Structure 1
Amino acid sequence: MLRIADTRTGRFVEIPSAHRRLLRICVHLPVTDTGIGAVHVRAPLVGDVLARTAELHGMESRTVLTTPELPHEQARELDRAMSDLGIHPPATIGVHELTETLCAAADVHLLAHGAPGQDAAGGVWIDVGQVGPARRDEGSPAPGRILVPGLLDAFVPAGTDPLALRMLLLGHAYRTPVTVTAAALAEARRMLERWRQQVADWAQEPSRPIPADVLRQAHAALADDLGVPAVLDMLVGVAARTDVPAGAKFETFAFLDRVLGLDLVREVGHQNRAAP
């Protein structure tokens, strides 16, 4: 069973309730005059990680994404940005008015920065921490606005793997505000490339089971308020452990990537590439 802290009460709540095996998630993007921007994509990302975690714990999940009324081009750009960040497509995407009934039955409501809560609605309500760039050059578009083309351009320079931004955000508790600096993004990119190369190297060795203590710690961290940063820290330790065979390291990283969504097996079969 997963435990999530409700923003309204500060108390932990087990989800889903009543021993059901379906976790219903509703992600709320704000209705703003400036449109949906890169600062708001963190909420769908947290919803994606929550859904992946539920599935890792043997549950099914269904995600509804509510948005303001968006022109076709902007809606398409939002879809592209979510795809670039490895976010699984929600089961339903629609304007707030069309999805109120579906969201009324949600177990978890994830509110992007600026999205208003509804105290009368049931389920757990979570305010996702704000995310923003370190600074904005004069004359560049505000990160709160739709950027066409490239909604993520405020954060991810051209030629940078967008999953480096995913990794950077996953390294922070989902309620904690995050400032995306060039240095932090570069470090996330280097770590992502290093892990992918290591996973490719480990894949050449005989497979071994995931260590029981690692599996237990990972499940416990994810079940306790979606502790993804603790999982990332644990993987740093696993990579350095001399008592864990290479094949077990491969299985561990590949298994937990089902939640992380970092495409850690990308370099398998390309071991001749130089390590970063």
Structure 2
Amino acid sequence: MLRIADTGTGRLVEIPSAHRHLLRICVHLPVTDSGIGTVHLRAPLVGDVLARTAELHGLASHTVLTTPDLPREQAQALERAMSDLGIHPPASVGVHDLTDSLCDAADVHVLAHGTPGQDTAGGVWIYVGRLSPAPPDQGVPDRGGLLASGLLDAFAPEGTDPLAVRMLLLGHAYRTPVTVTGPALAEAWRTLRHWRQQVADWAQEPSRPIPADVLRQAHAVLADDLGVPAVLDMLVGVAGRADVPAGAKFETFAFLDRVLGLDLVREVGRQHRATP
């Protein structure tokens, strides 16, 4: 059973309702005078994590993305940026209209910051917290407006994996505003590289089952309003547990990466070295 907090009522609601096995998600990007920017990508990311969580719990999912009527270049830039961020392509993309057939039967509506809601559409409504770049003196260029040629043009220095941005955002509850600072992004990038190297090391050991307590806790926190930050904390704990064999650590990280989408097994089978 998955539950998510409805922004309108503040109550946790079971999704999908009526014991169905398909979770219908509609992600809404705002209609703005300046166009869609990198700062709006957090809503598709939350929709992606919700779909991944549903699938981890044995549910199929169907995601629709609604956007403004974008020029072709902007639409392509949006597609590239979502790919950079590890977001699975939506099943369909349509021009913004909350009442059309694309979204009127959605179980969950995920709204980017600044997107107006509409009471006539059914389902649970969740509003994603604001995402903003830090002022230039904090190490992140202020280019959160129009999407550029790639995600890193807005938030990350050259040479940084875009999934470090994903990791940084996953460390915050989806309703919490996030400012992407240079130090925070650098720390996320260091942690991501370190975890990939650890996973590659553990993969060389015999496989072992995921500890039952870890599996139960992971399912529970994800089912309770997308507790992804708690999953990241769990992985830190698992990595340091002397009672968990290396093979079990590998299976735990690989399993939970199905939700995190951080490509934690990237270095498996490659030459690698420990982080200094």
- The normalised TM-score by structure 2 is 0.96
The answer to whether 1:253 aligns with 2:216 is: no
SS at match of 2:101: helix
Contact 2:197 2:267 in 1 (8 A): yes
SS at match of 1:75: helix
Q: CA deviation at 1:275?
A: 2.5
Inter-CA distance 271–238: structure 2 relative to 1 (3 Å threshold): farther
Inter-CA distance 128–98: structure 2 relative to 1 (3 Å threshold): closer
Contact 2:110 2:125 in 1 (8 A): yes
Q: CA deviation at 1:274?
A: 4.0
| Counterparts of 1:180 and 1:192, CA distance in 2 | 16
1:114-142 CA distances to partner (integer Å, 9 max, x unpaired)?
111011211000000011111147xx986
| Counterparts of 1:271 and 1:212, CA distance in 2 | 32
The answer to whether 1:49 aligns with 2:49 is: yes
Contact 1:141 1:147 in 2 (8 A): no
| Counterparts of 1:77 and 1:214, CA distance in 2 | 39
SS at match of 1:45: helix
Q: CA deviation at 1:94?
A: 1.4
2:79 is aligned to 79
2:184 is aligned to 184
Contact 2:221 2:227 in 1 (8 A): yes
- List aligned pairs for 1:126-275, cutoff 5 A: 126-136=126-136, 143-275=143-275
Q: CA deviation at 1:148?
A: 2.8
Question: How many corresponding residue pairs?
Answer: 274
Where do 5+ consecutive residues of structure 1 fail to align? none
1:11 is aligned to 11
Inter-CA distance 141–194: structure 2 relative to 1 (3 Å threshold): closer
- The normalised TM-score by structure 1 is 0.96
1:20 is aligned to 20
1:219-244 CA distances to partner (integer Å, 9 max, x unpaired)?
00000000000000000000000000
| Counterparts of 1:272 and 1:156, CA distance in 2 | 24
Q: CA deviation at 1:271?
A: 4.2
TM superposition outliers: structure 1 runs of 4+ over 4 Å: none
Inter-CA distance 215–37: structure 2 relative to 1 (3 Å threshold): same
Q: CA deviation at 1:177?
A: 0.2
SS at match of 1:251: helix
* CA RMSD of superposed structures (Å): 1.6
| Counterparts of 1:147 and 1:48, CA distance in 2 | 19
SS at match of 1:94: strand
SS at match of 1:158: coil
The residue type equivalent to 2:15 in the other structure is I
| Counterparts of 2:166 and 2:12, CA distance in 1 | 26
The answer to whether 1:70 aligns with 2:55 is: no
The residue type equivalent to 2:26 in the other structure is C
The residue type equivalent to 2:265 in the other structure is V
Identity of aligned residues (%): 81
| Counterparts of 2:164 and 2:226, CA distance in 1 | 20
Inter-CA distance 77–51: structure 2 relative to 1 (3 Å threshold): same
Where do 5+ consecutive residues of structure 2 fail to align? none
| Counterparts of 1:78 and 1:197, CA distance in 2 | 31
